[in-house]
């Protein structure tokens, strides 16, 4: 289980996250939604240890990891698939996979990758950055599948990908779910992630605006939460008219 | 047309189509918005307009002159001003110096002597330059902070310094890149109010790329929505609020 | 053709040593993003350790070499990474340059303080007997050196291709943050690369010592010659750096044959690597050298320097300068005059380092040129003041020639170009009759009404005050504002239609002008200048003492002059002079990132940062208070 308590974080003299509380129960999937700039990516980066927390705590199965550097959190069971393809773009696919495993049993891993994404095994010697966006994202998701981190976070898996490819990527998310991992997923396209999520958090301007279950958003209030951070349908304002 | 016009822009990066047939017009006297979900191509379009990227196809015009192939510096010379998503201030200069540096750029050439303050410009020009600086400090409400170093200011005030500095350069076209990022809702609304007042006073073409929908909907008279690099909608803020296409683009089809 | 072969063989064997040094440099630069100017000094230091172990302690040669290369050098590498550079994550490029230069000066100074300045000869490591191939004699030692270099290159290549650690190093080079997410400690990998790079430096130092002897400056510079090779590889490409190293070695060796008949060019062979370094930088298109990890710096920089003209400080300084002679014995008057002149020298350097955040490593050369040009003009009968101004103006085109190509690349490359030019000037130009005349000494007269020491002191004070007024005026003009703005945000400057390149070249030229004028004054003070007056190394020491004292203000320049010139005059013990450069080097390392060196600590600390911090905390708590009720509802 992943738990974030009273978290504040930011960059230099700019606080991005204000008192964020969040829980991902074991084996459950949490969707983290919100408009651009709400602080979703920052939140995942803070949990993964890429951005320091200014205050608050991060617990993995009750153990505080907030003072650990990123690589220890990764070894301790937190896996983040970051925004913009979490792969080593200048290394070959094979070397990427070797990096993901830190040297453990590459042969068996390649076989598993072949089962999930046959296209990747055809491209083992290709430099990862030269593959198509979809293939790069598959490789990034592979890491989550290959390492047995109980907590997996994914940031904007579908950005810039064609819908067919997004389906394939989300198949992998389903696999992770089926394996009983705890998932925290940030996604622009809410419909996809709401289908798999057990709980939804909405972040607005760095603070949690809504916590609930996907069904609670079925009334279409989600769009308006995005627009103004409030469930009320905004009154039409006077605009235009000049010139 | 007076202002900025981008016609039928296509942008490809190594096989990936980032923009496909996007057209937008930002005429003088109007605040034009450009919105879209993450990864829709907003930043790419912004960079095409500012000259940081050359489009694969399509043309960009400023005051009806084709500037498609001209550099950012060249466009700046033609009167395109911009702000930055990640605040770019001259942190070690005071607020006044930040703005004055941009105001002077208009009046004096940047020859070696001019940089040392030796110019042939008339006294009147220098006085005018100082007046413009003071007026802008006043306009954005930073009078009390004019002698503070920009690096000491909050992000909210920093955004205003950046805006004043851009305007001090006397542009005809202004590109604002996510000006509300890092601002809380109150600061964001204040920024919007100041921007609206400045628009009334200056005959500017303003293009706003922004994710704070409150700011976009309250400020813009015309809004373009793009997704997957394609134009999906354009209209007034009211049209946007009612548009099912925009909802679908932002949230995915099923929920909307 | 056959007469060239022996030179070719010498070239290949020296090239092999350059290659070792260049590989080490490339490895650390690509992984850490920090260009280690002290790379050669690390090699030099290891060579001294090797010598001590082998000669003084009496350990077998192989073991002594192993300890120096595999233990001492990696330990220095760890020290550099963990102690010196730890604080520089996200720091500006110019401060990391200063740190490594500080280390260079400190290591070199330590070697001199412990072992003395004279060169010691080192017994050969390998059999010096020769064999004959195609009519040319080849030494076994040469073959062994080349074999070691090739084996090391092969080993390094295998390390990167075949080992897990090599793979991790490649990963860190490509994407540092992601490496952490994968569970790999990027810091540890970087530290290892410093150990590896230092070991390569040490290997080249130890291999080189028998050929050139144990000479701290020579060894430091010889390994530094790898800069030229590394630059050919764009500082990143190991294969190209290797090829460049052999090319440089061969070119230098062949040129020895060629210049044997031209005495005035006798410095050419040893300057070839720097010539290469300089030409590659000049000829490189913009964009070929993008610095590693230079982007995060802007926000971390702190605001320094005042925005107002320091009338009061200048007045106090003038008054003090006018009173001083009456308090001093005539014997000390020379020291006082030199201190005064050095204030202008340091202020001119501060204009670059403090205001424009550019690093010049050839200010001593400008000073020498100033003095010698003044001497030539005097011989031609030009009146003193006019001659002094013309001597200053004479270096302006030289400065522009160095600055224009380098400035468009980046701060690091300006530092490298000035470094290259400094060595080049000393070994090539200083030897030519055009600079010091045929007998190697340039006599500089004092202006006629100011012949005695006291009168000349007042004359120097007057010139220095005028120079300082110019410098302080520049700080408050548009040029000064542009330079500070440039240090803060180059992109924003471009967006308001200001061309910062012109400003940076101008300030570099102005700084060179003032350095030359100071040099002219110094020449007049001691009435002559020769080859040994200001070696290239002085430029480095000046930079470190200025940074330690404070590069961003007049006070820093005064303190630097006092530390450099007045110090040894007051504390005359030999150990003071010996350890002085070490102290400057250490001071520069410690204070490189301080807002304004030692002087900065004499003033109350800037409260701005604290204010900004508490402001967002305040805003955050207000925001929280507003949202709290809603959040509770939601939960």
Span B53-76, pLDDT tens digits = 889 999 999 998 999 888 887 888
Facing residue for C495 by CB, picked from B76, B151, B153 = B76
Neighbours of B23 (CB within 10 A): 13
Give SS3 for A85: coil
Q: Write the CATH number of the domain with boundaries C2-283.
A: 1.10.3470
Q: Which residue has the tokens 């330690």?
A: C548
Check residue A238 and give its pLDDT: 34
Pairwise pLDDT comparison (A231 vs B83), residue with the higher score = B83
C168 to chain A: nearest residue by CA? A99
Chains near B, with 3+ CB pairs < 8 A? Answer: A, C
Selection from B153-162, B182-191, C568-577 with the highest mean pLDDT: B153-162
Pairwise pLDDT comparison (B186 vs C46), residue with the higher score = C46
Q: Which residues in chain A touch residue B181, judged by CB atoms under 8 angstroms apart?
A: 37
Q: Is the CB of A19 less than 8 angstroms away from the CB of C624?
A: yes
Contact A10, A54 (CB under 8 A): yes
B250 interfacial to chain A (CB closer than 8 Å)? yes
Distance from CA of A18 to the nearest CA of C (A): 6
Check residue A188 and give its pLDDT: 74
Selection from A186-195, B178-187, C36-45, C439-448 with the highest mean pLDDT: C36-45
pLDDT per residue over C83-122, tens digit each?
Answer: 887 766 555 667 788 889 999 999 999 999 998 888 888 8
Give SS3 for B45: helix
Contact A27, A34 (CB under 8 A): no
For residues C604 and C607, what is the distance between their CA atoms, to the nearest angstrom? 8
Integer CA distances (angstroms), B29 to B1, B198, B205, B210, in order: 12, 11, 6, 19
Q: Is the CB of C178 less than 8 angstroms away from the CB of A86?
A: yes
Pairwise pLDDT comparison (A132 vs B98), residue with the higher score = B98
pLDDT per residue over C346-397, tens digit each?
Answer: 999 999 988 888 889 999 999 999 999 999 999 999 999 999 999 999 999 9
Q: Block means of pLDDT (10 residues each) for chain C, length 635 residues?
A: 81 93 92 88 94 92 95 94 72 77 93 88 87 85 94 94 91 88 91 95 93 87 80 84 91 84 74 80 64 39 59 88 85 90 95 87 93 92 94 93 78 85 82 72 87 92 95 86 84 81 88 96 89 82 92 89 87 84 89 79 54 47 45 40
Query: In the structure encoding, which two tokens stand for residue B249, read together?
Result: 């683009």
Q: Which residues in chain A touch residue B217, judged by CB atoms under 8 angstroms apart?
A: 227, 234, 237, 239
C475 to chain B: nearest residue by CA? B116
B117 interfacial to chain A (CB closer than 8 Å)? no
Q: Is the CB of C498 less than 8 angstroms away from the CB of B114?
A: no
Quickly list DSSP for C354-407. III----S-HHHHHHHHHHHHHHHHHTT--HHHHHHHHHHHHHHHHHHHHHHHH
Facing residue for B185 by CB, picked from A130, A205, A242 = A205
Give SS3 for C589: helix
Q: Which fold has domain A2-213?
A: Rossmann fold (3.40.50)
Check residue C631 and give its pLDDT: 39
Task: Answer yes or no: is B256 within a domain.
Answer: no
Neighbours of C310 (CB within 10 A): 17
Give SS3 for A204: strand
If you ran DSSP here, which 8-state letter would residue C56 be given? I
pLDDT per residue over A28-37, tens digit each?
Answer: 999 998 877 7
Check residue B207 and give its pLDDT: 94
Question: Nearest 5°: CA angle at B194, between B192 and B198?
Answer: 115
Chains near A, with 3+ CB pairs < 8 A? Answer: B, C
Domain that holds residue B22: 3-251
Q: Which residues in chain B touch residue A159, judged by CB atoms under 8 angstroms apart?
A: 38-39
Mutate to test the interface with B, among C399, C472, C478, C484 (most CBs of B within 10 A): C478
For residues C220 and C211, what is the distance between their CA atoms, to the nearest angstrom? 14
Domain count, chain B: 1
For residues C474 and C486, what is the distance between their CA atoms, to the nearest angstrom? 15
Check residue C616 and give its pLDDT: 45
Quickly list DSSP for C2-39. GGGHHHHHHHHHHHHHHHHHHHHHHHHHHHH----TTH
B182 to chain C: nearest residue by CA? C616
Sign of the dihedral through C-alpha C552, C554, C555, C560: positive
For residues B77 and B81, what is the distance between their CA atoms, to the nearest angstrom? 9
If you ran DSSP here, which 8-state letter would residue B94 be given? B
Q: Is the CB of C478 less than 8 angstroms away from the CB of B114?
A: yes
Facing residue for B15 by CB, picked from A132, A160, A218 = A132
For residues C603 and C290, what is the distance between their CA atoms, to the nearest angstrom? 37
C613 interfacial to chain B (CB closer than 8 Å)? no
Sign of the dihedral through C-alpha C437, C438, C444, C448: negative
Q: Is the CB of B255 less than 8 angstroms away from the CB of A220?
A: yes
Facing residue for B237 by CB, picked from A14, A226, A237 = A237
Strand partners, B11: B19
Q: Which residues in chain C touch residue A70, judged by CB atoms under 8 angstroms apart?
A: 177, 180-181
pLDDT-derived band at A235 (thresholds 50, 70, 90) equals very low
Q: Is the CB of C481 less than 8 angstroms away from the CB of B116?
A: no
Q: In chain C, where are the structural domains located? A: 2-283, 310-536, 607-635
pLDDT per residue over A139-185, tens digit each?
Answer: 999 999 999 899 999 998 887 777 778 888 889 999 999 999 999 99
A80 interfacial to chain C (CB closer than 8 Å)? yes
For residues A104 and A96, what is the distance between their CA atoms, to the nearest angstrom? 13
What average pLDDT does range A54-75 have in this prediction? Answer: 93
For residues C540 and C220, what is the distance between their CA atoms, to the nearest angstrom? 13
Task: Count contacts between A and B (CB, < 8 Å).
Answer: 96
C305 to chain B: nearest residue by CA? B92
């Amino acid at each position: 289980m992943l738990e974030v308590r009273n978290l504040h974080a930011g960059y230099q003299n700019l606080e991005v996250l204000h008192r964020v509380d969040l829980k991902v129960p074991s084996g459950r999937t949490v969707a983290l939604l919100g408009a651009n700039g709400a602080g979703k990516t920052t939140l995942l980066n803070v949990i993964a240890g890429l951005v320091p927390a200014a205050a608050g705590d991060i617990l993995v199965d009750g153990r505080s990891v907030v003072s650990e550097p990123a690589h220890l959190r990764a070894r301790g069971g937190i896996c983040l698939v970051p925004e913009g393809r979490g792969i080593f773009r200048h290394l070959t696919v094979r070397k990427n996979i070797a990096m993901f495993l830190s040297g453990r049993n590459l042969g068996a891993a390649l076989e598993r990758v072949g089962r999930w994404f046959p296209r990747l095994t055809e491209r083992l010697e290709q430099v990862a950055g030269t593959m198509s966006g979809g293939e790069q994202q598959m490789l990034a998701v592979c890491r989550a599948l290959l390492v047995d981190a109980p907590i997996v976070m994914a940031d904007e898996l579908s950005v810039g990908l064609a819908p067919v490819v997004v389906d394939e990527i989300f198949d992998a998310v389903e696999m992770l779910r089926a394996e009983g991992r705890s998932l925290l997923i940030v996604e622009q396209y809410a419909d996809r992630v709401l289908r798999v999520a057990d709980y939804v958090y909405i972040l607005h301007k760095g603070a949690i605006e809504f916590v609930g279950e996907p069904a609670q958003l079925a009334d279409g209030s989600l769009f308006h939460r995005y627009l103004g951070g409030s469930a009320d349908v905004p009154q039409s304002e006077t605009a235009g008219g000049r010139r | 047309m007076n202002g900025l016009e981008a016609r039928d822009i296509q942008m490809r990066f190594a096989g990936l189509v980032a923009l496909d047939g996007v057209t937008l017009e930002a005429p003088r006297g109007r605040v034009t918005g450009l919105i879209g979900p993450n990864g829709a191509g907003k930043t790419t379009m912004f960079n095409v307009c500012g000259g940081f990227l050359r489009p694969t196809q399509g043309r960009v015009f400023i005051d009806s002159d084709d500037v498609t192939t001209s550099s950012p510096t060249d466009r700046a010379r033609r009167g395109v001003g911009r702000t930055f998503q990640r605040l770019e201030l001259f942190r070690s200069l005071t607020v006044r110096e930040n703005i004055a540096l941009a105001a002077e750029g208009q009046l004096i050439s940047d020859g070696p002597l001019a940089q040392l303050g030796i110019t042939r410009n008339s006294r009147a020009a220098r006085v005018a330059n100082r007046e413009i600086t003071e007026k802008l400090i006043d306009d954005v409400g930073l009078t009390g902070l004019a002698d503070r170093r920009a690096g000491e200011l909050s992000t909210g005030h920093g955004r205003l310094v950046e805006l004043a500095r851009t305007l001090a350069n006397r542009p005809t076209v202004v590109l604002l890149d996510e000006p509300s990022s890092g601002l809380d809702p109150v600061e964001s609304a204040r920024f919007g109010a100041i921007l609206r007042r400045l628009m009334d006073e200056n005959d500017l073409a303003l293009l706003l790329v922004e994710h704070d929908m409150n700011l976009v909907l309250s400020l813009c008279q015309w809004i373009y929505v793009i997704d997957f690099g394609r134009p999906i909608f354009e209209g007034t803020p009211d049209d946007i609020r009612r548009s099912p296409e925009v909802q679908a683009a932002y949230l995915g089809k099923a929920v909307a | 053709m056959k007469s060239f072969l022996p030179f070719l063989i010498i070239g290949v064997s020296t090239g092999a040593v350059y290659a070792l040094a260049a590989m080490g440099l490339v490895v650390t630069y690509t992984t850490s993003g920090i260009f280690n100017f002290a790379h050669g000094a690390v090699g030099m230091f290891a060579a001294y350790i090797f010598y001590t172990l082998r000669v003084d302690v009496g350990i077998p040669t192989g073991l002594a070499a192993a300890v120096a290369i595999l233990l001492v050098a990696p330990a220095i590498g760890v020290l550099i990474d963990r102690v010196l550079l730890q604080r520089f994550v996200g720091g500006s490029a110019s401060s990391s340059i200063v740190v490594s230069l500080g280390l260079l000066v400190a290591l070199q100074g330590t070697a001199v303080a412990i072992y003395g300045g004279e060169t010691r000869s080192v017994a050969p490591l390998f059999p010096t007997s020769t064999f004959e191939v195609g009519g040319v004699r080849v030494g076994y030692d040469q073959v062994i050196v080349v074999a070691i270099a090739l084996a090391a290159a092969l080993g390094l290549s295998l390390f990167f291709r075949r080992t897990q650690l090599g793979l991790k190093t490649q990963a860190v080079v490509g994407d540092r943050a992601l490496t952490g997410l994968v569970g790999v400690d990027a810091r540890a990998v970087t530290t290892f690369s410093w150990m590896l790079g230092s070991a390569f430096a040490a290997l080249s130092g130890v291999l080189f010592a028998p050929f050139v002897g144990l000479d701290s400056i020579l060894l430091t510079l010889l390994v530094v010659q790898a800069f030229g090779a590394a630059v050919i590889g764009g500082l990143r490409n190991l294969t190209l750096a290797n090829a460049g190293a052999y090319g440089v070695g061969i070119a230098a060796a062949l040129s020895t044959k060629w210049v044997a008949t031209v005495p005035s060019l006798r410095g050419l062979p040893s300057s070839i690597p720097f010539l290469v370094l300089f030409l590659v930088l000049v000829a490189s298109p913009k964009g070929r050298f993008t610095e590693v990890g230079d982007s995060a710096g802007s926000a971390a920089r702190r605001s320094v320097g005042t925005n107002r003209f320091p009338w009061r400080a200048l007045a106090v300084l003038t008054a003090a300068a006018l009173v001083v002679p009456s308090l001093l014995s005539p014997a000390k008057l020379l020291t006082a005059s030199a201190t005064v002149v050095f204030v202008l020298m340091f202020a001119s350097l501060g204009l670059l380092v403090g205001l424009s955040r550019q690093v010049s490593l050839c200010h001593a050369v400008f000073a020498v040129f100033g003095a010698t040009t003044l001497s030539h003009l005097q011989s031609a009968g030009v009146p003193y003041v006019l001659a002094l101004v013309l001597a200053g103006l004479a270096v302006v085109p030289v400065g522009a020639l160095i600055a224009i190509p380098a400035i468009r690349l980046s701060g690091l490359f300006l530092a490298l170009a000035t470094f290259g030019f400094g060595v080049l000037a000393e070994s090539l130009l200083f030897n030519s009759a055009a600079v010091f005349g045929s007998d190697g000494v340039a006599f500089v007269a004092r202006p006629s009404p100011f012949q005695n020491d006291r009168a000349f002191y007042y004359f120097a004070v007057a010139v220095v005050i005028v120079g300082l007024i110019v410098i302080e005026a520049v700080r408050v003009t548009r040029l000064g504002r542009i330079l500070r703005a440039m240090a803060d945000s180059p992109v924003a400057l471009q967006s308001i239609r200001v061309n910062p390149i012109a400003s940076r070249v101008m300030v570099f030229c102005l700084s060179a002008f003032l350095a030359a004028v100071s040099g002219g004054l110094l020449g007049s003070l001691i009435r002559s200048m020769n080859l040994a007056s200001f070696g290239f190394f002085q430029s480095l020491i000046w930079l470190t003492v200025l940074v330690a004292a404070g590069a961003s203000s007049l006070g820093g320049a005064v303190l630097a002059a006092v530390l450099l010139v007045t110090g040894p005059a007051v504390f005359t013990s030999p150990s003071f002079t010996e350890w002085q450069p070490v102290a400057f080097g250490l001071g520069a390392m410690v204070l490189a990132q301080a807002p304004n060196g030692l002087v900065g600590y004499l003033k109350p600390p800037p409260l701005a940062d604290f204010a900004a911090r508490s402001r967002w905390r305040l805003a955050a708590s207000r925001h929280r208070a507003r949202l709290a009720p809603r959040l509770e509802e939601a939960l």
